[in-house]
Structure 1
Amino acid sequence: MVDPATEEIDLRGELTRLVSLAWPVVLTQLGFMGMGVVDTMMVGRLGGDAIAATALGHSWSFAALILIIGVGQGLDPLFAQAFGARDPDRAGREMFRAFWLMGLMCLPMVVHHNLAAPGLTLLGQPAELVDRASQYASILSWCVPAMMFFVVLRQYLQGKGQMRPAMWVLVVANVVNIAGNEVLIYGRFGIPEMGIAGCAWSTVFVRIVMAVVLLVLSWREFSSVIPQWRESFSWSELLQQAGIAVPVGLQTGFEVWAFQASIVLMGWFGPTAIAGHVVAINMCSVSFMVPLGISAAASTRVGNLIGARLEFKRAAWTSIAMGGLVMTVSATLFVLIPEYLALLYSPNDLAVVAMATSLLPLAAFFQLFDGTQVVAFGVLRGAGDTRVPSLASIFGFWFLGLPAGAGLAFGLGFGPRGIWLGLTLALASVAFLLLFRVRYTIARGGFPVE
């Protein structure tokens, strides 16, 4: 019987296959966003300072965790191509090798979490927030190993085309998160009220639960490759894996850090500019979850086909077209009804609404390029091409987009819109560079990982 994951199919079949892979990932990513929204809402009852301190602590933590997530995504070609070649033992060795790689990253990540106080002080954050924010980040260091385990196992399953286990884990996680926050933030069932520290401990517990539940749901797959752990450690093969995965981690990190830097730049225009910017970014983030899911699907599909020594051109271009089409819908809404969308976020502050409304038409172009580049990156990741695309992304954001945005905003008087023009320029340049790279990679036949 032909494995559907590695079968060459027509356009309609390709669309069906990609959608079946993408939708659970989209819901998983929305689940992650949902936990953040719930945390903000439940901490919000403690006042504005509590929200600000939690946001600072989370931002400090996420600046490091994004590297874990990115390196995990960089494992996609290793897993997908191994499963495409019908070599589960090789995929198992890569999984246990990834645990070694993540283990080497663990200590620096924990240290980073515990340096929040001097780090936030150095960045000029308000002293009245730094103490609570640093406590929040320090507590989150306890879940770094669980987060690493979850990410590796999730990517292993995605390489096999099993996207749903992580989705169900996020359903459980959101329920546990609400209950944990209620008990630990406000004090219930004899447990003392802990405030934002309770929110942090709830997050630690939830992430441990996520790792355990994912292991339980995938125990059959995991246990079948346990014997491979004995052959997993090899310095040469570990370095080879790092050479594929770490560039993706750096690319993901530098992209997220670029958006964090844009918030700092926007802050020089005052709190209204920051608020409007955050509203616009949040709307872009919600719609971005769909092409992000398509990107994961494309990475798995392309990797499976390359592993099976089959043509992947149709899968590559179909997925990129899907990403562009989806973002065209959200871009149209940003152009046609920007004020209405902004009012959903800030109905009581018309200055923030006006700022967000002025940015959303620019966000429409931003969306088109963002959807294209993230799916193209997924295609290239699945094909085993990670280093050149990562350099293209870093160049687009840090050597082109951010400097241009700062120049337009402060030098040429464009104001906050200048920063968005810079971000749009960054995404446009990355999108075009990656499209050319996709053409080259298709012509080359991919970068098979042996």
Structure 2
Amino acid sequence: MTSFPLTRDVPSTRAVFNLAWPLTFKALMLHGIVVIDAWLVSSLGESAVAVLGLSASIAGLLLGLIVAFSNATQIRIAQAFGSGDKVFLKSALLAGLTINVAVILVGLAVLAFAAGPAIDALAHDAWIAEQARGYLSVFAIVILAEAVGQCLTGFFNGCGDTRLPALSYVIAVPINITTSVILIHGHFGLPAFGVQGAAMGSALASLVQVGFLALVLLRTRRDLLQTPGWRNGTFAASLKRHLVFALPIAATFASATVAMNVCGLIYATLPVTQFAAMTIIMPWVQVAGTVGMCWAQATGIMVGQMLGKRVDPEDLETFLADAWRVALLAAALVACFYAAVCLASPWIYADLAPATQATLLSFLPILLVLPFPKGSNAICGNTLRAGGDTVYVMHVFVWSQWLFRVPATAIMVLWLDLPVIWVFSLLLLEELVKFPPFHLRVAKGTWKTGAPDD
């Protein structure tokens, strides 16, 4: 375990902000791609939006696995970077990259066999099923590119350069928007590919982004790739050690992503107007929610550093109280943003049916409350992880998802046929289910005695 001198320093909220804003910016750009695609496709009508929602739910399962393993690699990279061991750093990078690519190749093989029957079972009609197949066939390029790109992003973040991955999205997003507009509607004499045009724009943008990160890596860290030797003696041993480290961390992220996309597949059985409304609002929920989530992630990093320095528990409480106050302010800003989106939906999505626009507006009361318990739970979860209570956090997430949200969604949609507002309310109810176990665990205070492992 790395030792630190005793200190009573309490990081300022500005220090947390400096760590959080690049993470927030990148996350906003990443989720913004989905929002942009939904907005561009909305001009083609509810059926086209349904195609995007169905396809995104299936592809999201694989993208979630990429993000899950990349988050674990990011922690491993940070450990290696802090140690100054180039062999460790190279081993972590190449092992993480190998795992990402292997997981996605297996996932795409499964997708090739299983996606067709799933689409046929969930699509509202033959046209939606056909378009979803075409979208996924192109979007496979995005999935492969992200397998490499997310690992490279984890490498740069772990080395402390959080701005470079954010810059890669600054380059990629304009390409995605411009290309998608041209290919969806067939401008400049090109064919109008419709929904598949959105996938083509995303594929081109992802390839450009990965190319940028790979080029920077080769130009700035070529010596790292040429470093001889492996952390655990052989590459196979290093790969196994990395996988053992990554699996528990990836399980939490993977469970959340799989649960979200399973619910998305269930949403696909809703009437087209209601499913279109859910498809449109969910990316907005994710986009705005990243503000609170990234603040909580940065808070957790600071807590972990303070625990490693053996800071006095009173100073930990002071820092956490300040961070919590800012988290509540962030939640209020997110609620205002949700209100603006819902109230402006008749103008933002003017081409959609009045019933779809009315459904979007009905989500407003839930969205005004959701950011507060969600942001507070995020502070708790990241604080507990920093204190080494990772298994408890995993249990809270996994059981609230698979014993409550997923079965409740299935019951409401598939058996009770309830209005979509009841289904959407499960986002808030899930946070309320997690609220007591998270806050009671933080109040217990055992996390204050924890310290990050090497």
TM over 0.5: yes
Matched residue of 2:138: which SS? helix
Q: 1:210 to 1:83 in 2, by over 3 A?
A: same
323, 340, 343: which one pairs with 1:340? 343
The answer (yes or no) to whether the contact 1:248–1:387 under 8 Å persists in 2 is no
Q: 1:141 to 1:217 in 2, by over 3 A?
A: same
Shift of the alpha carbon at 1:130?
A: 1.6
Partners of 1:117 and 1:201 lie apart in 2 by 20
| Count, aligned residues | 442
426, 442, 447: which one pairs with 2:447? 442
The answer (yes or no) to whether the contact 1:106–1:145 under 8 Å persists in 2 is yes
Q: 1:286 to 1:389 in 2, by over 3 A?
A: same
The aligned runs of 1:311-322 (5 Å cut-off) are 313=316, 318-322=322-326
Partner of 1:178: 177
The answer (yes or no) to whether the contact 2:308–2:452 under 8 Å persists in 1 is no
Matched residue of 2:161: which SS? coil
The amino acid that maps onto 2:160 is G
Gaps of 5+ in 2: none
- Farther off after superposition, 274-283 or 22-31: 274-283
The aligned runs of 1:165-314 (5 Å cut-off) are 165-186=164-185, 193-219=192-218, 222-228=221-227, 230-232=229-231, 234-235=235-236, 237-263=238-264, 270-278=271-279, 280-302=281-303, 313=316
- Farther off after superposition, 102-111 or 233-242: 233-242
The amino acid that maps onto 1:428 is L
The answer (yes or no) to whether the contact 2:184–2:195 under 8 Å persists in 1 is yes
Partners of 2:126 and 2:116 lie apart in 1 by 9
Partner of 1:146: 145
The amino acid that maps onto 1:446 is A
Query: What TM-score does the superposition give when structure 1 sets the normalisation length?
Result: 0.81
The amino acid that maps onto 1:172 is I
Partners of 1:272 and 1:187 lie apart in 2 by 26
Partners of 2:35 and 2:422 lie apart in 1 by 29
Are residues 1:26 and 2:24 paired? yes
Partner of 1:114: 112
Q: 1:39 to 1:73 in 2, by over 3 A?
A: same
Partners of 1:54 and 1:277 lie apart in 2 by 11
The answer (yes or no) to whether the contact 2:301–2:386 under 8 Å persists in 1 is yes
Instruction: Give deviations 1:22-73, integer Å, cap 9, x for gaps.
Output: 1122221221233233333444555554443333323321221111112212
Partners of 1:382 and 1:209 lie apart in 2 by 35
- Farther off after superposition, 395-404 or 415-424: 415-424
- Farther off after superposition, 178-187 or 287-296: 178-187
93, 96, 108: which one pairs with 1:95? 93
Partners of 2:22 and 2:86 lie apart in 1 by 23
Partner of 1:360: 364
Partner of 1:397: 401
Partners of 2:305 and 2:218 lie apart in 1 by 22
Q: 1:202 to 1:417 in 2, by over 3 A?
A: closer
The amino acid that maps onto 2:374 is D
Q: 1:125 to 1:300 in 2, by over 3 A?
A: farther
Are residues 1:430 and 2:434 paired? yes
Partners of 1:344 and 1:189 lie apart in 2 by 27
The amino acid that maps onto 1:128 is W
Query: What TM-score does the superposition give when structure 2 sets the normalisation length?
Result: 0.80
Partners of 1:197 and 1:229 lie apart in 2 by 45
Q: 1:380 to 1:242 in 2, by over 3 A?
A: farther
Gaps of 5+ in 1: 1-5
Partners of 2:12 and 2:86 lie apart in 1 by 24
Q: 1:167 to 1:45 in 2, by over 3 A?
A: same
The amino acid that maps onto 1:245 is A
Partners of 2:212 and 2:440 lie apart in 1 by 41
The amino acid that maps onto 1:135 is G
Residue identity over aligned pairs, in percent, reads 21
Partner of 1:330: 334
Q: 1:218 to 1:7 in 2, by over 3 A?
A: farther
Partners of 1:355 and 1:80 lie apart in 2 by 44
The alignment's C-alpha RMSD in Å is 3.8
The answer (yes or no) to whether the contact 2:180–2:201 under 8 Å persists in 1 is yes
Partners of 1:267 and 1:48 lie apart in 2 by 12
Matched residue of 1:231: which SS? coil
